[in-house]
Structure 1
């Protein structure tokens, strides 16, 4: 292939095909003679066509023939239409190969309807229908005089035969192609096409070419497989009721295989192929709304043109404001139309459809775009199968590698060994039923093609067999091999979508695997909690622990240091590919020390070994790859096993507090403010960092220094303090985000208020748009999901906020509630909460409720997230809490001090409630009775309300 041809092939466009082999002949001119260079793509899923440029002799030839071995049997032939998105320049005219139709005569009526729809809905200038049995060649040659009369104006030579390398026709082995051109009379064209098709043989195919005044690209028809889950569930229940599966299996794999085959075969029996044909710019609107939506696009385009004209007149400094205004204007118009179209049809007034509108308006659901990956040589990869395989290669580069060295000999952080051993408890069908009922209702499937909906429909009978399988797993210490394959979906993280490094894998596990993992690791976690084996500073994936508890602990450590006139160094660490880099040998050794031995050890080891994965991209699947390291993600097992992996970090000898939420690590080290102690500060910091580095190295984990950051809170500290890890300097920053809470060098509470206010501003704007058409129930759902959740998250930290910051959030909350009810801007706040929304807490009520619940949770679980309230006593008369007072305002206004005072003011009947959910409900009702007092509160410390 010549250099010119190679360069041309880099500029490619995607075309879809099915059972068709494509060879592309690119015409290349030389000074002495002319010749054709052939480029063949062997992949049968996609092919690329290059567009030639240059002198008038340049063109493109597409050689299409049928794969005989793929369509010999009638069962392998379907009557679907494949849209081939090919742009061809014939001379200076742009043409499209619109489709290759196989056996249209078998369904002539549908084919003609399809053709008529194409003609009526597109601005067609000329159209060619060409059909033949053996070989179809479309050739352009400026020096050849062999043309068909009807195609002379195109300079297009259509024939059936072979082409030699010197561009001469060897022979004409068959009849010329049937062909016709579309004129002004489209009806006559349809009739002529029908007559031509009737004369064709049974195995013919048709190539359809179209020339447009304005090029329009079409998309391949979407083929979806829809399962009648109700009918499938009835058949499965009937089969299980008739005991078609024997419950006397002695082997886990055989038992699971028979159970899975019964379900999968029944599902396949009730699955039908559904073909959807959409234009390239399809919308998520229902069919009845498409026409109205298309008409509105014209309005939006005019609006965009007006804004562009305004930009030219405005000053450069206002361009950013105009850009923000553009987005709001277009979303206003677009959102109003979508809401009107959805809710004009009463049949679509459902909670699910409402959230479709909400996600569309709030910008939380983006359209899926066609992915184009680029190789190092500049080649564009558009083949879905090739893309899936490239993703598989990328993801397996970590989990698919064997251990090069065994680091067990160098490991010294196992901690003390547990004397007693853990034993799995047998499960009953009732427990399985409860777990299945608690699963979210989803139609997505894993590798086994069994959805959660289907399992929930056959819950009663399937739970019997699932309990038998799990109990057999316990007795044998083996895990079914059929549940060890994960389906990986690449998710874009950000930045350039063409870079494969900007994607992370998401695992779709089989539904039954999630059930078994919930049982297995639920029992293991309960046993560790009972024996106090968990790291007390591990807040991830534990009962009554979470992000808010971790942030409360971080703020307490910071406030105590400031109360002692110290500064604080905070370092946020990032573990590179934390879950994927877990060394399974080290993990199993640690689990043994924690007490998981004998059959429990065998079951966990069998669960983690011999796992496989395959990548799904659109409708293409990659090859199956083996996994040698890492814990499975997508269910309960992965996070729990990772917490066990770093559980012995509690035994490290450090001067700092190490807060952990799964793989998120935050180091908090108090530092002396005196300049004379700067050397001591550096030594303490170096000691802790070296200890962490040695720990991660011995556990075969890698710290990502580029994503790790640190900040200093406090005054009079040496500004030249530098933090190094693995001989790399960790970047210093003014603010640090930890679990959604923003920590700053000073006034981090105000930073958090700014973050919340910014989030509320965009949500309120979307709410104002939806108010035009959406019902009040949908607006309230949006309020609690996208506004109240931001106000409530870590609201206990706002106890230290200034009154101006609290008023700022209160005004945003008032604005939201007034928009929902359509009230005027100056509507009284007191009447708003007392009469219009009597069940809604004001922002101060939300803060108090959060603080009281956090204190109650710390007392009930004896948690040290709030250390100073662990020293409390109960008397026969009251259950008041006692705390150690602080010297500075930082401790007198934090959650420990104010939260305990609020807790002590509660009635005794509420304080005595042990169930947390009931306690929270009663406290909220109690605060609602004092709404007027809460609205008058401005400063928490000096004017604490007397409930």
Structure 2
């Protein structure tokens, strides 16, 4: 067993007594980390002090899978994963509290099989740890060259270095490569601390694994340990280092406990709000209200220090499990050193299987108990899933930015830089775009709506209803008041709020303090020091959300009443979705190709569409749509004089206090407010006239996702239409100051079959060429020029494979009921998106069906050849085919505009009166379309299902029917009719 290492004290001539500690670094060639995580957690829990660093060779995992590894109290800090071959790989885990710096400059030295390197720096100790694996059959010469180059990059004066790994060079045998390695180490003042064999069989003894250090280390020892995970021993180095600061990490936050909320409500109960009711100006009334509300809020929910909890001991790892683990390790040693009988070897295998089962059941039982004891079972369940899948540990990562070749690390300066960038990037984009320099834009193309929106007074009941639909979130706007608190206390503030909201609607003024946005920078991808790799997330006051929702409801009711929103718009609208947009577009293409016509698609990407909207243009359009008078004044007030500030979190490296820093306020002059309730609706109204302007083409919109389909009987007429649409698009976008990103936009010539000649022509907008592609991502669906679905199903298969591994990584830690929830949330949700378009093609759905069955077997914990029919019934899960049937029928019933029922045409009581008319199609592609297949499947349903008129009842009965009849194919379904 590994000895525990503990802090010791020694004397220093300069500073007197100085605390030192032994820092543990472990390396093990583990030969598949994924299936040994639970046993590894048990082993580590039996050590009184854990190694600070865990280095593993041959983890055998893909990078996406490695991210799901959960080693209790550790975080993944560096890794190398193979791309072309299986097995291999290296990774490094560190204790959660350690400050780690990655060493990306070594990544370009990595070579698959030859030099698989992971490296980190322990910031507090100034120690560099490098883990390298070399495959047995790879070039030793290239390995030594790359090792030499690595050492040249790493070895600097006074810097401590630890090299570990399985290099597959036997240091117990003298040969050319062993001597070359020893010479390289000596020339760099390095020493291998491992002297005994690290891989022992009955016939061989080899020293293949190394733990190498500088000779400048104060003190270090290395132990060889039997962990029982592979045919290699593990190595544990204990390094004597100075202890870093031991200040506990803490964050300053407000405690929203039930008791505190009850106290808060008690204070609000006795407040009369008379001062609010005496105000005639909405800004004054809201200021008085907010001041009183915050007085109670800050008193009951003061800021308090909350210290981060150290990793809890795993309760499921009982003393009995630890004893069993020790016994198993002893059996491994016997097996390695002695020639055992077949009976004894079988006993060890059986003991190993039982041990694995015991620790799995223990872990599952503990997680089930945690869920059962919690108040919010669903939230706790997903917290456990997040933790068990390796995503449970989160820490504040301090941001640094490179601005004009200078590194900015001061958090206050960083908040200002972010705010400047987020606001100025929009201003700069508008300034550079020639469309936005048009000062004489008109909106004469919009037909004047003679009706005017009248703002009906708000009632207390309406305020209660709107507030009840708020999400229970802790995040808050600039006033620090979370949505959750307002939901809890709305009964005691509904009256003053109703007064303020009515004052706002009657005066046409939106309160100034509701116009302040708090912005948080969210990292996307790429270099973290590049400010362009961050996007802003805006958080508004909860009271602003309520007032906006009240206005939103009035505007939407008005727009719907007079049918002012274009049917081409599918975004943010009731009974519209991405599916209606996709079906409109693809259905028209299928119909066109079925008639042997030509089709050309334009898929536009707009640059910061919501952010660059010109307020004067928007207000002019709102007036024409009927938002005049007080409503128009209110919208003008809502859009103007808005400001924002950026908030970032920063951990002080000396005190470990997590600070919140904010920038100064900066004015927002363009766009609709991000993170707002009204913003998306205002954008829809801004772009609403585009479909009417584009003649002789089908425009399909989903918010700012703008797509145009042009069809023609021949190429000559098609090209003429394309040129006309091009001119119309350029004119509209010029007049409306929106910016087309031609680099991300695409066009496609659709063709009837793969045998049809490929057409590639040059298409440009504003004298900039748009790529003519063979495929495009359209609202999450991969569309190709021949409308085949292989590309999309491959994309879905790749996503589902990642989810399958997630479920595999969870199966030893959570129960089957939890795994089923993960399946529904992570697997089925991806599987069913867009299935109505591709699910009818057998060859495309078969691969996904195999993956689905594989996933179901993992959930149940059965072998690969076990039949899944009963498993689908047991877990109440629909097969890919049944899911396709369910989704396509729900779409057809919900969107009756696409179909006609016999009973709608005549009143005769025939046996087919509930059937749908079958549309005529020339091609198989058209027959396999949503309408063709949906009609055919509906007509194949039992009469008792077809006769159901209520949509919700139909859904319930249909699902029960599909769960009872586990259909593996459409042919099975039709045979069952």
Q: With structure 2 as the length reference, what TM-score do the two structures score?
A: 0.65
Structure 2 matches for 1:420-431, cutoff 5 A? 420-431=451-462
Aligned 8 A contact 1:873 1:881 in 2: no
In structure 1, the residue matched to 2:250 is: 222
State the 1:514 CA deviation: 1.3
In structure 1, the residue matched to 2:907 is: 875
In structure 2, the residue matched to 1:646 is: 687
1:710 aligns with 2:747: yes
In structure 2, the residue matched to 1:393 is: 420
In structure 2, the residue matched to 1:489 is: 520
1:778–1:612 CA distance, 2 compared to 1 (3 A) = same
1:937 aligns with 2:970: yes
In structure 2, which of residues 869, 872, 885 is the aligned counterpart of residue 830 of structure 1? Answer: 869
State the 1:904 CA deviation: 3.9
Instruction: Determine the C-alpha separation between the residues in 2 that align with 1:761 and 1:790.
Output: 11
In structure 1, the residue matched to 2:731 is: 694
1:744 aligns with 2:771: no
In structure 1, which of residues 750, 761, 767 is the aligned counterpart of residue 807 of structure 2? Answer: 767
In structure 1, which of residues 343, 353, 358 is the aligned counterpart of residue 385 of structure 2? Answer: 358
Cα deviation 1:517-546 (Å, max 9, x = unaligned): 222112212221221111111100000111
1:892 aligns with 2:931: no
Aligned 8 A contact 1:401 1:628 in 2: no
1:242 aligns with 2:266: no
State the 1:469 CA deviation: 1.9
State the 1:903 CA deviation: 3.0
Aligned 8 A contact 2:253 2:306 in 1: no
1:271 aligns with 2:301: yes
State the 1:470 CA deviation: 1.6
Aligned 8 A contact 1:487 1:615 in 2: yes
State the 1:832 CA deviation: 2.1
1:600 aligns with 2:631: yes
In structure 1, the residue matched to 2:772 is: 732
Instruction: Determine the C-alpha separation between the residues in 2 that align with 1:219 and 1:359.
Output: 28
Structure 2 matches for 1:812-831, cutoff 5 A? 812-831=851-870
Cα RMSD, aligned residues only? 3.9
State the 1:843 CA deviation: 1.4
Aligned 8 A contact 2:889 2:938 in 1: yes
In structure 2, the residue matched to 1:316 is: none
Aligned 8 A contact 2:775 2:783 in 1: yes
In structure 1, the residue matched to 2:604 is: 573
State the 1:927 CA deviation: 3.1
In structure 1, which of residues 433, 454, 466 is the aligned counterpart of residue 497 of structure 2? Answer: 466
1:345–1:908 CA distance, 2 compared to 1 (3 A) = closer
Cα deviation 1:822-865 (Å, max 9, x = unaligned): 2332222322234x23x322211111111111111211xx4xxx
State the 1:596 CA deviation: 0.8
Structure 2 matches for 1:283-432, cutoff 5 A? 286-288=311-313, 350-359=377-386, 367=394, 370-375=397-402, 377-398=404-425, 407=438, 409-412=440-443, 414-432=445-463
Instruction: Determine the C-alpha separation between the residues in 1 that align with 2:686 and 2:363.
Output: 49
Structure 2 matches for 1:895-910, cutoff 5 A? 895-906=930-941
Bigger shift: residues 745-754 or 902-911: 902-911
Instruction: Determine the C-alpha separation between the residues in 2 that align with 1:793 and 1:874.
Output: 36
1:291–1:898 CA distance, 2 compared to 1 (3 A) = closer
Instruction: Determine the C-alpha separation between the residues in 2 that align with 1:364 and 1:97.
Output: 26
In structure 1, the residue matched to 2:836 is: 796
1:706–1:359 CA distance, 2 compared to 1 (3 A) = farther
Instruction: Determine the C-alpha separation between the residues in 2 that align with 1:232 and 1:262.
Output: 17
Bigger shift: residues 394-403 or 572-581: 394-403
- Structure 2 residue matching 1:789: 3-state secondary structure: helix
- Structure 1 residue matching 2:461: 3-state secondary structure: helix
- Structure 1 residue matching 2:905: 3-state secondary structure: coil
Instruction: Determine the C-alpha separation between the residues in 1 that align with 2:863 and 2:401.
Output: 55
Aligned 8 A contact 2:389 2:810 in 1: no
Instruction: Determine the C-alpha separation between the residues in 2 that align with 1:338 and 1:692.
Output: 60
Instruction: Determine the C-alpha separation between the residues in 2 that align with 1:909 and 1:560.
Output: 32
State the 1:568 CA deviation: 2.8
In structure 2, the residue matched to 1:637 is: 678
Instruction: Determine the C-alpha separation between the residues in 1 that align with 2:830 and 2:683.
Output: 29
1:291–1:798 CA distance, 2 compared to 1 (3 A) = closer
1:910–1:370 CA distance, 2 compared to 1 (3 A) = same
- Structure 2 residue matching 1:806: 3-state secondary structure: helix
Instruction: Determine the C-alpha separation between the residues in 2 that align with 1:595 and 1:870.
Output: 41
1:904–1:228 CA distance, 2 compared to 1 (3 A) = same
- Structure 2 residue matching 1:410: 3-state secondary structure: coil
1:623–1:873 CA distance, 2 compared to 1 (3 A) = farther
Aligned 8 A contact 2:647 2:662 in 1: yes
1:573–1:212 CA distance, 2 compared to 1 (3 A) = farther
1:622–1:583 CA distance, 2 compared to 1 (3 A) = same
Instruction: Determine the C-alpha separation between the residues in 1 that align with 2:590 and 2:371.
Output: 55
- Structure 2 residue matching 1:213: 3-state secondary structure: strand
In structure 1, the residue matched to 2:232 is: none
Aligned 8 A contact 1:799 1:894 in 2: no
Q: With structure 1 as the length reference, what TM-score do the two structures score?
A: 0.67
In structure 1, the residue matched to 2:880 is: 843
Instruction: Determine the C-alpha separation between the residues in 1 that align with 2:798 and 2:848.
Output: 10
State the 1:357 CA deviation: 3.8
State the 1:285 CA deviation: 7.6
How many correspondences in the alignment? 692
Unaligned 5+ segments in structure 2 are 1-96, 102-121, 127-159, 161-217, 220-238, 326-358, 650-659
State the 1:722 CA deviation: 1.2
